[in-house]
């Protein structure tokens, strides 16, 4: 995966900002906590706008926390958000890497995500 990201600008959408801070990667913290870097998990449209206003060509979005977005919005709105984000990134010659825990989601949701997003080579099933 690291070779895929070489020379790319990175932006994380995360529930765990410290790991990105340590590596100097800009991030948007998905949280209800009051913070300049945070956006509420229920605010999918503002999150999409914020990401797209920051993403240019050769940007990769690193998204963890899908399992947190789903209970706050429902699967359908989150899937629509992800597809909209993916389509806009493709149009900008940018990309997205989504990290999910398949054990934390219903199998049908995992299957829907897997149909739309490719598994990275060498990643565990």
| Tens of pLDDT, residues 50-85 | 999 988 888 999 999 899 999 999 999 999 999 999
- The closest alpha carbon to 6, from 117, 95, 125, belongs to 95
* Backbone torsions φ then ψ of 54, nearest 5 degrees: -100, -20
Assigned CATH topology for domain 2-116: Rossmann fold (3.40.50)
pLDDT value for 122: 58
pTM metric for this prediction: 0.87
Residue 125 has pLDDT above 60, yes or no: no
Asked if residue 47 lies in contact with residue 13, where contact means CB atoms within 8 angstroms, the answer is yes
CA distance 105 to 76: 13
Task: Choose the weakest-confidence range: 3-7, 14-18, 93-97, 120-124.
Answer: 120-124
pLDDT band for position 37 (50/70/90)?
Answer: confident
């Amino acid at each position: 995966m690291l070779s895929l990201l070489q020379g790319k600008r990175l932006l994380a959408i995360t529930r765990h900002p410290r790991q990105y801070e340590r590596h100097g990667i800009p991030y948007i913290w998905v949280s209800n906590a009051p913070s300049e870097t945070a956006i509420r998990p229920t605010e999918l449209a503002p999150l999409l706008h914020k990401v797209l206003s920051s993403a240019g060509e050769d940007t990769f979005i690193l998204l963890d926390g899908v399992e947190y977005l789903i209970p706050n919005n429902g699967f359908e709105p989150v899937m629509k958000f992800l597809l909209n984000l993916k389509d806009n990134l493709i149009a900008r010659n940018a990309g997205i890497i989504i990290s999910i825990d398949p054990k934390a989601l219903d199998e049908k949701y995992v299957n829907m995500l897997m149909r739309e997003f490719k598994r990275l080579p060498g990643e565990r099933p």
